[in-house]
Structure 1
Amino acid sequence: MAEPIYYVDRSDIREGKIAEVKNGMRDLTTFVEAREPQLIAYHFYIDEFESTMTVVAVHPDSASMEFHMELGGPKFREFSALIRMRSIDVYGQPNSVVVDQLRQKAAMLGGGTVALHTLQAGFSRLHPPRNTV
């Protein structure tokens, strides 16, 4: 069984672009939700100073992430004038195509780093237990 892949990226929001970033986040979320039913979670966050955007996504497997990168590529490009990517952290084992896609995305959005983290121990409960009593 494939392990889920957890994706976290952080970007600096360019000065004066917060309203455009918020609109872009909503548009991208609507676009992805309508086209990627396999995606477990897809969330955008902005810090309290409205200077940093964080994206958190949970994919069921590498194929889901590859599809997301292919589908979202043109939409991600729209953020290039709004943010400067600092980092992408991936927890799990994406395939080599996904790793290349992530590096291209980071370069396109400002040259942030891409770090891959391999699971050493743990478990996921993606569906709550039916009866815990």
Structure 2
Amino acid sequence: MGDEPFWLFTLDVKPGKFDEFKSLVADIVASTLKEPGTLAYQYAVTEDKRSVHIYERYRDSEAFVVHVEQNFAGYADRFHSMVTVRSLVVYGEPNAKARAALDTFNATYMTLFDGFTRH
């Protein structure tokens, strides 16, 4: 069950930054759409536009590492200037290289023990 690791980020958007953040996210999503190993990459916002969730699912840990190193790295400084990461919950068993990137956000790791995924 360790295939296709996935996680949920919870972010707080800095006051007055949502419109700028939303524009940046549109660019990130368009770029991420070109990554064949990214299976799901979705943003959701609360009604007051202060809290955002990001759901990410990857074919495998290496696909995530490619996303971070070859795509997201170019957006990271602007992204982090507009939000604060409140939490990151990781499901599955990412490899050591993926965990090193996820650990920078004080990730909580959840081990899957039952269930299924349909495609």
Q: TM-score, normalised by structure 2?
A: 0.91
* Aligned equivalent of 1:103: 103
Q: % of aligned pairs identical?
A: 25
Q: Which moved more, 1:67-76 or 1:44-53?
A: 67-76
* Aligned equivalent of 2:23: 23
Question: Which segments of 5 or more consecutive residues in structure 1 lack a partner in the other structure?
Answer: 107-112, 127-133
RMSD: 1.5
* Residue 125 (structure 1) aligned with residue 118 (structure 2): yes
* Aligned equivalent of 1:75: 75
Shift of 1:2: 5.8
**3-state DSSP of counterpart to 1:124:** coil
Q: Computing the radius of gyration over CA atoms, which structure comes out larger, 1 or 2?
A: 1
* Aligned equivalent of 2:109: 116
Question: Which segments of 5 or more consecutive residues in structure 2 lack a partner in the other structure?
Answer: none
**Rounded Cα–Cα distance in structure 1 between residues aligned with 2:5 and 2:46:** 24
Q: How does 1:44-83 map to 2 (within 5 A)?
A: 44-71=43-70, 72-83=72-83
Q: TM-score, normalised by structure 1?
A: 0.82
Which structure would you say has the larger RCO, counting Cα contacts within 8 Å and 6 or more residues apart?
2
* Residues 87-131 of structure 1 deviation map (CA, whole Å, 9 limit, x = unaligned): 111100001111111223x3xxxxxx31111111111112xxxxx
**Rounded Cα–Cα distance in structure 1 between residues aligned with 2:76 and 2:110:** 23
* Aligned equivalent of 1:33: 33
Q: Stretches of 4+ moved more than 2 A in 1? A: none
